Amino acid sequence: MVGNWEKRIAITGGAGFVGSNLLLYMVPRYSRYLFVNIDCLTYAGNLSNLASIEHAPNYRFVKLTVNDYKSLARCFAEFDINAVIHFAAETHVDRSIFGPADFISTNIAGTFNLLELARQRFDDGVDFRFHHISTDEVFGSLGEDGAFTEESPYRPNSPYSASKAGSDHLVRAYHRTYRLDTVISHCCNNFGPYQFPEKLVPLVINNALEGKPIPIYGNGRNIRDWLYIEDHCRALDVIFHRGVAGRAYAVSARNEYRNIDLVRRICRLVDEIKGGGPRERLIEFVSDRPGHDQRYAIDPSRIENELGWKAVHQFPEALRKTAEWYISHREWLDRCVSGEYLKYYEQVYTNR
């Protein structure tokens, strides 16, 4: 029985890094919404992230892949879903290079399934909102100057970003063709608790703690634009509630760092917190990622001016908090890096 909820929101990929942070942020804040977490729990999904809300009256978990259209349809009917915040995706660029197939099926075909279900409900008269979580990577790579905006041309360079671009185009088409109420957010690189340690920030913290080599791809001068996860969650809240239908919003705090500078910074933080070091000695330059995008940077003027969002966290404090979180949650890291992932990592690393 569904009950009298003001909104019934399917959060796809809610056991992953951004999805679980959003659920931890939103479930206690919106007690009149029902949050249905749809996640098939790949290596990147971790239900223990959600332990503090798993018994909340306005939270449900359904183990389901977005590739299973029939079961998704049953789930949407059972919970009378009237909104989607769509995170579920294969997300790691390196994995997309070694094996792109899952990226095509989950990121493109999975998004198509969700859009079709949303369209049917909208056609049946349901007031439906579809918030699609995209990335800045769909815009490709920047030179030394400038920043991406929502109007930048799509120029994806990896199978990951190409699959995200494909899903963005479908979302856009469903708005233009069927008038489905959609919003898209393009966020830069996030960091914070619960990020799977194949991504740069938690990987460096983990290897620094374990005394393992810290691989830097190429010359380390590639630049990423970094946003603390809590600022991203606040942006998603604002976009979901107040974003204009058919519009996209780019999200960033204008924090650009070269990989090598960020990695050195993290090493120094771990030295300060744990003692010992210098862990910078663990840095190893390894062969470059094929098609490695040189620079990402986002101009967030639209979300700042139109929706009044601004990042509130300062980068140095947020990075320190992040390092402290992983250091005090070593068992979480250990669980992630054991078993299958360890085999994968060793294979990828020794092949570089």
Binding site for ligand NAD (CB under 6 A): 12-13, 15-19, 39-42, 44-45, 65-67, 87-91, 106, 110, 133, 135, 164, 187, 189-190, 196
Q: Rounded to whole angstroms, how far apart are CA atoms 312 and 230? A: 9
Question: 192 is in the binding site of which of ligand NAD, ligand TYD, none (Cβ under 5 to 8 A by kind)?
Answer: none
Residues near 297 by Cβ (< 8 Å), separated by ≥ 6? 142, 146, 147, 148, 188, 223, 225, 252, 254, 256
Question: 72 is in the binding site of which of ligand NAD, ligand TYD, none (Cβ under 5 to 8 A by kind)?
Answer: none
DSSP-derived secondary structure letter, 165: H
Kindly report the three-state secondary structure assignment for every residue of 116-139: HHHHHHHHCCCCCEEEEEEEHHHH
Does residue 43 touch ligand TYD according to CB under 6 A? Answer: no
Question: 205 is in the binding site of which of ligand NAD, ligand TYD, none (Cβ under 5 to 8 A by kind)?
Answer: none
Round to the nearest angstrom and report the end-to-end CA distance of the chain. Answer: 53
Residue 188 CB, shortest distance to ligand TYD, in Å, is: 9
Residue 292 CB, shortest distance to ligand TYD, in Å, is: 6
Does residue 175 touch ligand TYD according to CB under 6 A? Answer: no
Residue 127 CB, shortest distance to ligand TYD, in Å, is: 35
The torsion angles phi and psi of 40, rounded to 5 degrees, stand at -95, 0
Which of 44, 142, 184, 200 is in the footprint of ligand TYD by CB under 6 A? 200
Residue with tokens 């070091």: 277
Strands (E), the chain: 7-12, 33-39, 59-63, 83-86, 129-135, 181-187, 189-191, 214-217, 223-228, 247-251, 256-258, 283-286
Question: 200 is in the binding site of which of ligand TYD, ligand NAD, none (Cβ under 5 to 8 A by kind)?
Answer: ligand TYD
Does residue 25 touch ligand TYD according to CB under 6 A? Answer: no
Stretch that binds ligand TYD, among 1-9, 75-83, 196-204, 233-241 (CB under 6 A): 196-204
Question: 106 is in the binding site of which of ligand TYD, ligand NAD, none (Cβ under 5 to 8 A by kind)?
Answer: ligand NAD
Q: Which of residues 133-152 bind ligand TYD (CB under 6 A)?
A: none
285-297 b/e with 16+ CB inside 10 Å = b? Answer: eeeeeeeebebbb
Residue 224 CB, shortest distance to ligand TYD, in Å, is: 5
Alpha-carbon Rg for the chain, nearest whole angstrom, is 20
Does residue 189 touch ligand TYD according to CB under 6 A? Answer: yes
Question: 216 is in the binding site of which of ligand NAD, ligand TYD, none (Cβ under 5 to 8 A by kind)?
Answer: ligand TYD
Does residue 199 touch ligand TYD according to CB under 6 A? Answer: yes
Task: Give DSSP secondary structure letters for 2-21.
Answer: --S-SEEEEEETTTSHHHHH
Within 287-338, residue ranges assigned H as helices are 301-307, 315-328, 330-337
Residues near 160 by Cβ (< 8 Å), separated by ≥ 6? 90, 91, 92, 93, 95, 96, 103, 107, 137
Stretch that binds ligand TYD, among 47-55, 60-68, 214-222, 245-253 (CB under 6 A): 214-222
Residue 32 CB, shortest distance to ligand NAD, in Å, is: 25
Q: Rounded to whole angstroms, how far apart are CA atoms 344 and 169? A: 32
Stretch that binds ligand TYD, among 210-218, 273-281, 313-321, 331-339 (CB under 6 A): 210-218
Which of 83, 259, 266, 270 is in the footprint of ligand TYD by CB under 6 A? 259
Binding mask 46-65 for ligand TYD (x = CB under 6 A): --------------------
What are the catalytic residues? Answer: 136-137, 160
Residues near 219 by Cβ (< 8 Å), separated by ≥ 6? 260, 285, 288
Which residues make up the interface to ligand TYD (CB under 6 A)? Answer: 93, 189, 199-200, 203, 215-217, 222, 224, 259, 289
